[in-house]
Structure 1
Amino acid sequence: MAQRPVQIVFLDRETISPQTVLRPVSFEHELTIYGRTTRDKVAERIAHADIVITNKVPLRQEAIEQAGNLKMIAVAATGTDNVDLVACARKGIVVSNIRGYAINTVPEHVFALIFALRRSIVAYRESVKAGRWYDAQQFCYFDYPIKDLAGSTLGIVGNGTLGKAVASIAQALDMRVLFAARKGDTNQSAGYTPFDQFLAESDIITLHCPLNDHTRDLISTREFSLMKRKPILINTARGGLVNEPALVTAMRQGQITAAGFDVTTPEPPDNQNALVQLLDMPNFILTPHVAWASEQAIQTLADQLIDNIEAHYQGSPRNVVAAPASV
């Protein structure tokens, strides 16, 4: 009796550029591709799958338990907060993610935001558009602050691949770099600055940590009150790291100088989202979760995604987030 092809289901292909080449896997399979999948369709679409590919579609306990053939979830991203890892471990389902692919694209996006905000690029562009330059009747005007990066302090939350890459660029720009210790950690580790001190001393803060129960609302009302230098806040990681209503208050009250965000809660945001309401401010930039999305990075991601699937099929799973376990 012939063995049935491995059933692979891709739940949200539209989250990866259509120009990206997804190499075929080397074993017999049937690949079912959905451009996008709403939460109410997840269980139905993965019911008979052996391998599920997801970028941002949530895979929760109920849907996972109903998927009788499921052996692997291949996450087309680094973050796995959309996958119930406990439920996967209980059923012996391997979860693999993508690593190291964004080492250039995310740090470059971070500094694009930093440069734009530190030098008030958006504010000056909008003022020129409104006729301010002509009205000034001279070769320049000084309506908005412009500050060098050299000599300033960059605070980084997260000392992983991306945090280190951001630090490397900052050091090349003659910036002082601080890495934050874990919030609430009273045991100071070498190379880390206590969290409250970190908030007080940073001119710019950038977040590069995962979203979990320990980091949700990492930055909120209390933390903004400790930011003595009124820093620029950059978030290209996850929206839930920063309490969005608290950010709005901090921006409106001038507790921070500016903010550049590439993420919101939820995504996509509607017109009532707190961050969307800040777009009238020239010192706030919101981009649509594209810090990771250079052409080179997306192709690297796609290649690694297929490699993860191949490795699992060959019995040597890689980039494992939740190893098979019996509960």
Structure 2
Amino acid sequence: MIIVVLDAATLAGVDLSPLMKFGTVTTYDHTTAEQVHHRIQDANVVISNKVQLNESHFVQAPKLKLICVAATGTNNIDLAAARAAGIAVTNVAGYSTPSVVQHTFTLLGNLMTNIHRYAEDCRNGAWQKSPMFCRLDHSINEIANKRFVIVGYGNLGQAVANVAEAFGAQVIIAERPNSKEVRRGRMAFEEALEVADIVSIHCPLTPQTENVFNADTLALLPKHAILINTARGGIVDEHALAQALKSNQLAAAGVDVLSSEPAQPDNPLIQYRGDNLLLTPHTAWASKESIGRLVAGIAENIDSYLNGGQTNRVV
């Protein structure tokens, strides 16, 4: 069996030996759209994180039987064309939950205790010049007793809720935006924003959630609120967020995802220079352990397919 990994660099050098028991594994760190045809033409299995695959690729890869998406989202694959070509498609769900939860609270903890500002002060010699044993130049706040609003209550949202409760926060589950009913145990979306001290986003990007955090909804948040987005960039209107941070309409934000990735130089959050924004390059999912679970999940998917199973089958 010939297995081709199109964007192995996204696996950060994690051991791929679990895949080698199935056949020959050829890896490419990166694959451009122009290189796809040549690289998959003899493949039986293709593994791709973000490389897009469509009908034109399938026509020129007659031996291709299985596409393993090295992620949860499958939007980079033309699923209808894969189905028509008789190509199975799998994904891996849940592998990154511990990593994303940790990153969420790393961003939040830094912002609430202003660790990034204090660390910079130490590098600049401020502590050495202090008239007392410590510095108290920047606000330090606790998660305990804060109203912690979670938008998106799937596996990730629930895991974040558990940690927030362990910190002593009052967890509020926001109902879906524009929902006509509020389910038991939830609060209407706009009402939740109005009382939030912290908002953490964990919903998927859909037509219903695109730019759901915009100038109007961000204005509902109290001025002391902190927004964390480790979900998808398109859920937040980046121009509106940058303006809210600049005008102190919002206290701070931690962002791991942008609407266009890799980041573009003209993105308003890339251009923003205020120290009330922490921006990381889509790394919340990428702990060493997380990627190890991802590779193990891909191996499980291949094994299941070869034995007639349906593990993680999308198509």
Q: Taking structure 2 as the reference length, what is the TM-score of the superposition?
A: 0.92
**Conserved? CA contact 1:26–1:310, under 8 Å:** no
How far did residue 61 of structure 1 move?
Answer: 4.6
Q: Taking structure 1 as the reference length, what is the TM-score of the superposition?
A: 0.88
Q: Is 1:184 aligned with 2:178?
A: yes
Alignment-mate amino acid for residue 9 of structure 1: V
Residue 39 of structure 1 aligns to a residue whose secondary structure is coil
Tell me the alpha carbon deviations over residues 164-217 of structure 1, each in whole angstroms, 9 at most, x when there is no partner.
Answer: 111101111111111221111111111222111122122111111222333222
Alignment-mate amino acid for residue 296 of structure 1: E
Matching residue within 256, 264, 274 for 2:258: 264
The ranges of structure 1 where at least 4 consecutive aligned residues each deviate by more than 6 angstroms after the TM superposition are none
Q: Is 1:158 aligned with 2:152?
A: yes
Matching residue within 144, 153, 163 for 2:138: 144
**Conserved? CA contact 1:22–1:306, under 8 Å:** no
1:23–1:128 Cα change, 3 Å: same
Q: Unpaired segments of 5 or more residues in structure 2?
A: none
1:155–1:319 Cα change, 3 Å: same
CA–CA distance in structure 1, aligned partners of residues 17 and 249 of structure 2? 46
**Conserved? CA contact 1:206–1:234, under 8 Å:** yes
Q: Is 1:114 aligned with 2:108?
A: yes
1:185–1:313 Cα change, 3 Å: same
How far did residue 11 of structure 1 move?
Answer: 0.6
Residue 228 of structure 1 aligns to a residue whose secondary structure is coil
Alignment-mate amino acid for residue 107 of structure 2: L
Tell me the alpha carbon deviations over residues 58-82 of structure 1, each in whole angstroms, 9 at most, x when there is no partner.
Answer: 2245434554443322111122232
Residue 78 of structure 1 aligns to a residue whose secondary structure is coil
**Conserved? CA contact 2:19–2:25, under 8 Å:** no
**Conserved? CA contact 1:220–1:243, under 8 Å:** yes
Matching residue within 294, 311, 314 for 1:301: 294
Superposition map of 1:186-205 within 5 A? 186-205=180-199
1:201–1:59 Cα change, 3 Å: farther
* Percent identity (aligned): 39
CA–CA distance in structure 1, aligned partners of residues 33 and 224 of structure 2? 40
Alignment-mate amino acid for residue 240 of structure 2: A
Alignment-mate amino acid for residue 106 of structure 1: V
1:92–1:292 Cα change, 3 Å: same
Which residue in 1 is equivalent to 2:12? 17
**Conserved? CA contact 1:51–1:73, under 8 Å:** yes
1:98–1:203 Cα change, 3 Å: same
How far did residue 25 of structure 1 move?
Answer: 4.9
Q: Unpaired segments of 5 or more residues in structure 1?
A: 1-5
Count of aligned positions: 315
1:318–1:223 Cα change, 3 Å: same
